[in-house]
Amino acid sequence: MKLSIIILNYNAAAFLELCIYSVLRATKNIDAEIIVADNNSTDSSLQMLHFVFKDQVKVIAHEENYGFSKGNNLAVAQAKGEYLCILNPDTIVGEEVFKECLSFTQAQPKLGFLGVQLIDGTGKYLPESKRHIPTPKVARQKMLGNDRNYYYNEVGQNDRGKVDVLVGAFMFCKKEVYEDCGGFDERYFMYGEDIDLSYTAILKGYENYYLGDQKVIHFKGESTIKDKVYLERFYGAMGLFYDKYFKQSVLEKNAIDLMIKGMVALKSTPSIEYEVKEFDNLYLVTEDKHLDLPIKMERVKHSEVWDCTFEDATFLWDTKTLTIKEIIDFMTHTKELKHRFLSPKRDFYIGSDSSNSRGEIKYM
């Protein structure tokens, strides 16, 4: 088997459903398997997987929430593919992304991990798609608001090139490279494990690359609500990374620990639930002239959206009749517009208006 796509899920049923639909399209002509490892979700994830994707997806139901690192490692152990892609459930991939990753990887004998350009639910580029190694000095500057040396700006947003650190929402590699690097360090429960694995690959003589011309939607806000628990895990992971790779004096360690505690206290905000919004200017973009949905909206063809002027518009994209690539192209070439993604079954849509806000789900 050529490729195994590993999706670790926790309570993201609706987002996971669209993610799998997009992966099935993108692997249509590839000898591939999809493995969903569920970290003991309490929502309808397992039921959805059984009824919607039975026999199309291999499901591993964990008996507890093992966290990101261990959850993925357990799934990789059962993967049969020569290549792996670690993929978040709150992503939607374009039809060509795996083909392009396979082609690029096969031409790079020293390749460690490969990443792509991640965009949020509005089409905005997510700069964490490519980062420098966060040395203590770089991390301190980042904490203080100076991220100039944190992101890997030497490679352009839409370019291809060698980088240091990739993001765990999409990490592509040879399975033997993943195993040689020891997989994700299971001391990280969530956050920081992608930095650690990227850096481990470099230390072992591999090279990490970024494909800026390949775009993947990442509804980042769905899994990054910045409450106290998130911040403790996020900054705690940074502390673990420094302890593992950078020798520090007692004074330096105490200073970093104090700064981490300060950042948690300063940035903690209560976790809030999202509200499903009603839109005044909602446009259904579809090629299905018979599609009738139980919500008020105007209808427009994909070929027409490029020629019209829309103000304060929200586009509801019919993922059954449009390609993800078509949708992403429009999202990344327009501004100040909102986007929602209709499931192929046409029974719900998802979306997110910010990389810092919770994703939205509306059932119909």
What is the 3-state secondary structure of the chain?
Answer: CCEEEEEEECCCHHHHHHHHHHHHHHCCCCCEEEEEEECCCCCCHHHHHHHHCCCCCEEEECCCCCHHHHHHHHHHCCCCCCEEEEECCCEEECCCHHHHHHHHHHCCCCEEEEEEEEECCCCCECHHHCECCCCHHHHHHHHCCCCCCCECCCCCCCCEEEECECCCCEEEEEHHHHHHCCCCCCCCCCCCHHHHHHHHHHHCCCEEEEEEEEEEEECHHHHCCCCHHHHHHHHHHHHHHHHHHCCCCHHHHHHHHHHHHHHHHHHCCCCCCCCCCCCCCEEEECCCCCCCCCCCCEEECHHHHCCCCCCCCEEEEECCCCCHHHHHHHHHCCCCCEEEEECCCCCEEEECCCCCCCCEEEEC
Higher pLDDT, 347 or 244: 347
Q: Sort residue 275 into left (φ over 0), alpha (ψ -120 to 50) or beta.
A: beta
**Residue 249: pLDDT band by 50, 70, 90 thresholds?**
low
The CATH number that applies at residue 126 is: 3.90.550.10
The CATH number that applies at residue 316 is: 3.40.250
Q: Which residues make Cβ contacts (< 8 Å) with residue 301, sequence separation at least 6? A: 285, 286, 287
Shared-domain flag, residues 253 and 214: no
The answer to whether residue 278 scores a pLDDT higher than 60 is yes
Mean pLDDT of 244-255: 64
Domain membership flag for residue 275: no
Shared-domain flag, residues 236 and 332: no
Shared-domain flag, residues 164 and 289: no
Domain membership flag for residue 10: yes
Shared-domain flag, residues 260 and 317: no
Other C-beta atoms closer than 10 Å to the C-beta of 265 total: 10
What does residue 283 show for φ and ψ, rounded to 5 degrees? -120, 125
CA distance 47 to 3: 25
Mean pLDDT of 113-139: 91
Shared-domain flag, residues 59 and 101: yes
- Answer yes or no: are the C-beta atoms of 68 and 190 closer than 8 Å: yes
Shared-domain flag, residues 176 and 212: yes
Shared-domain flag, residues 256 and 215: no
Shared-domain flag, residues 201 and 313: no
Domain membership flag for residue 276: no
Domain membership flag for residue 97: yes
Structure tokens at 273: 């639930």
113-117, 162-166, 253-257, 302-306: least confidently modelled range: 253-257
The answer to whether residue 228 scores a pLDDT higher than 90 is no
Q: Which residues make Cβ contacts (< 8 Å) with residue 106, sequence separation at least 6? A: none
The last residue of a domain, from among 243, 267, 291: 267
Q: At what angle do helices 250-267 and 136-143 cross, to 10 degrees?
A: 30
Q: Which residues make Cβ contacts (< 8 Å) with residue 277, sequence separation at least 6? A: 360
Structural domain boundaries enclosing 237: 228-267
What's the number of domains the chain is made of?
3
pLDDT of residue 207: 98
Shared-domain flag, residues 184 and 94: yes
Reported as a single tens digit per residue, the pLDDT across 17-71 is 999 999 999 999 999 999 999 999 999 999 999 999 999 999 999 999 999 999 9
Domain membership flag for residue 91: yes
Question: Which of 22, 219, 241 shows the shortest CA–CA distance to 131?
Answer: 241
Domain membership flag for residue 237: yes
The answer to whether residue 163 scores a pLDDT higher than 90 is yes
Domain membership flag for residue 272: no
CA distance between the termini of the chain: 38
- Answer yes or no: are the C-beta atoms of 90 and 12 closer than 8 Å: yes
Structure tokens at 120: 């949020």
Shared-domain flag, residues 162 and 193: yes
CA distance 362 to 247: 49
Domain membership flag for residue 200: yes
Shared-domain flag, residues 239 and 331: no
The answer to whether residue 341 scores a pLDDT higher than 70 is yes
Shared-domain flag, residues 207 and 346: no
